[in-house]
Amino acid sequence: MSRSLPAAETLLDASVAYLQERLMPELQGYHRFQTRVVINVLKIIARELRDAETVDAEEAASLRSLLGHDGSLDELENELAQSIREGHIPLDDPELIEHLRGSLANRLSINNPRWSR
């Protein structure tokens, strides 16, 4: 079945382009600042739509490797938290540190790609 609307990413990109190219040059002060905030929010949403599935898959794979078995991302995250709380995985475990750094970098890349990597 054909879609009657463009994809969400296309709509977001068009919205950002309008705000940046047409509206921002006309604004000053508070409204210019607030429009910049809206542009950043729309860009985060677009990255979330584009990248969240890959980020979740990478995190799940890292957790499977760390914990040694399969499960849903939520189950694996909960198990990791419980294992840390109960002292089964020490905080200085190199594999834990590698997992946490990688997961954080991936999540930050959605919020602002310049913060990580």
- Convert the pLDDT of each residue in 80-103 to its tens digit: 999 999 999 999 999 999 999 999
- 112 has a pLDDT exceeding 90: no
- 1 has a pLDDT exceeding 80: no
* Euclidean distance between CA atoms 2 and 4, whole angstroms: 6
- 52 has a pLDDT exceeding 90: yes
Residue 114's pLDDT is 84
- Convert the pLDDT of each residue in 57-82 to its tens digit: 999 999 999 999 999 999 999 999 99
* Euclidean distance between CA atoms 33 and 108, whole angstroms: 23
Residue 115's pLDDT is 78
Q: How confident is the model at residue 6 (pLDDT cuts 50, 70, 90)?
A: confident
Q: What residue ranges do the domains of the chain occupy?
A: 8-111
